[in-house]
Structure 1
Amino acid sequence: MTTIGRDVRRRYSTLTVPACGIVLGVVDLLLQRSLPYPWANLANSSAVWALGAFGIGWWLRAGWRRSALAGIVLLVVAVQAYYLAAVVVMNDNMQTLWSSTAMIWSFFGVLAGALFGAAGGLSHDRQPWLRVIAVAMPGAVLLAEAATLVNRSDNPGGGPHYRTDSLQTAAIEATLGVVLILFIAQTHRVRLQTLAAATVLAAVGFAGFTIAGFGS
């Protein structure tokens, strides 16, 4: 990446990052309403949203601090775009934009945006061990959510269709997680290191999902 290329990315990031957030929020709602299950679950997946923050940090290539800020802006804007789209498409009440639910998701957007945005920036770091951890993050969050869905599928109140959808979505996410690691990592050695790091990070992520209430 040349200095000119980096400068162009930074110059346009002020417009690009919020624009991507709007697209993420609106497309999420539309796909969630139009796709069949279990694919509709992916459209509204917390892990997939986290991938968006990682992607914007990876694209920006401006250091972990700036990448973390970009991830935060992306996800917070996406949350508001999602609820605004719901007002337009589903005639939801305008008050949902500042409801407690929207505020909670915005809070999670700040946390996930900072963490995965920074990881996207660090995926270009000169330190090999930092790159391995950063590159492991996208796969790890998918594996963590897959494990959460498997654990949650035993909920007796969900019914057989809920269990089937959860297990199918978990299988898709686990597959995507491994494929992402193999795709992003550039050598066999780094792939093995990244898979090992992703396994540990997935366990931490599973605990995080459970503590945050996503496991029930």
Structure 2
Amino acid sequence: MKISHGVGTTAPVAGFLLGFLDFVWIKYVPFPFGGLGNSIAVWAVAAFLLTFHSRWSLPRATVGAVVFLVVAVPSYYVAAALIQNDDWANVYSSYSLLWMSLGVVAGAVFGAGGGIARTPSRRRIPALALPAAVLFAEAVLQLFRIGDPGVVLSETLGYVGVLVAAALGITLVVVPAWRVRAQVLACAVPLTAAGGVLLFASGFR
């Protein structure tokens, strides 16, 4: 179903739900699936899906995705305060502000990507490849952590499997035909490399 409501209503409400439910997911869903709640890639994919299933123009989609992710950050800390009595100061802490700034970047990229992916053009295939690429990139970073102190091999491989399955699953959902899916996954390879470098440079190693 297409989202027809305005950006000013849909984006903040959806962002609040994302942040709040993300904390609930982390707290109550066991690993490795619970690890998806700590995934910046999953939030990026959520921003993509929000605009992909909207009727917003490209500028409105970009702004909407930014608002969506920025609102989700304090919402996450509100849930933490309500559910497990975390400090309410976390809502506006420097760490929260850092995550909101990352939300601006991710929202701009993946919000625009979602808008581009639903319109026929030469940019459509790379845009459709963004969700799989960011999930694959996080999986690659997880593999690089193998051997680090405290990293359990079986848990890491299990989480990598979940990320890869999520990447393939989201491609099946958003891409309409097998031929196009093959093109999208092929395009996801160089985007995965670029995304991995960016995640590594941003300190997610």
Structure-1-length-normalised TM-score: 0.89
Secondary structure of 1:74's aligned partner: helix
In the other structure, the counterpart of 2:195 is 205
- CA displacement, residues 4-48 of structure 1 (integer Å, 9 cap, x when unaligned): x7xx71x43321211111111011111101111111101221111
Q: Percent identical across equivalent pairs?
A: 35
Matched, 1:173 2:166: no
Distance between the aligned counterparts of 1:97 and 1:44, measured in 2?
Answer: 17
In the other structure, the counterpart of 1:158 is 150
The answer on whether the counterparts of 1:63 and 1:122 sit within 8 Å (CA) in structure 2 is no
In the other structure, the counterpart of 1:142 is 135
CA positional deviation for 1:124: 1.5
* Equivalent residue letter for 1:193: Q
Q: Where is the helix percentage greater, Structure 1 or Structure 2?
A: 1
CA positional deviation for 1:62: 1.9
- CA displacement, residues 137-171 of structure 1 (integer Å, 9 cap, x when unaligned): 1111110111111112321x2143xx322221111
The answer on whether the counterparts of 2:48 and 2:111 sit within 8 Å (CA) in structure 1 is yes
Distance between the aligned counterparts of 1:92 and 1:178, measured in 2?
Answer: 36
In the other structure, the counterpart of 2:38 is 44
* Equivalent residue letter for 1:90: Q
Distance between the aligned counterparts of 1:88 and 1:184, measured in 2?
Answer: 35
Secondary structure of 2:66's aligned partner: helix
User: Which of 186, 193, 216 is the aligned partner of 2:176?
Assistant: 186
* Equivalent residue letter for 2:36: L
RMSD of Structure 2 on Structure 1 (CA):
1.7
In the other structure, the counterpart of 2:58 is 64
CA positional deviation for 1:118: 0.6
The answer on whether the counterparts of 1:80 and 1:97 sit within 8 Å (CA) in structure 2 is yes
Structure-2-length-normalised TM-score: 0.94
User: Which of 86, 102, 127 is the aligned partner of 2:80?
Assistant: 86
The change in CA–CA distance for 1:100 and 1:181 in structure 2 (over 3 A counts) is: same
The answer on whether the counterparts of 1:61 and 1:124 sit within 8 Å (CA) in structure 2 is no
Structure 1 spans left out of the alignment, 5+ residues = none
In the other structure, the counterpart of 1:132 is 125
- CA displacement, residues 47-77 of structure 1 (integer Å, 9 cap, x when unaligned): 1111110011112232322111111001000
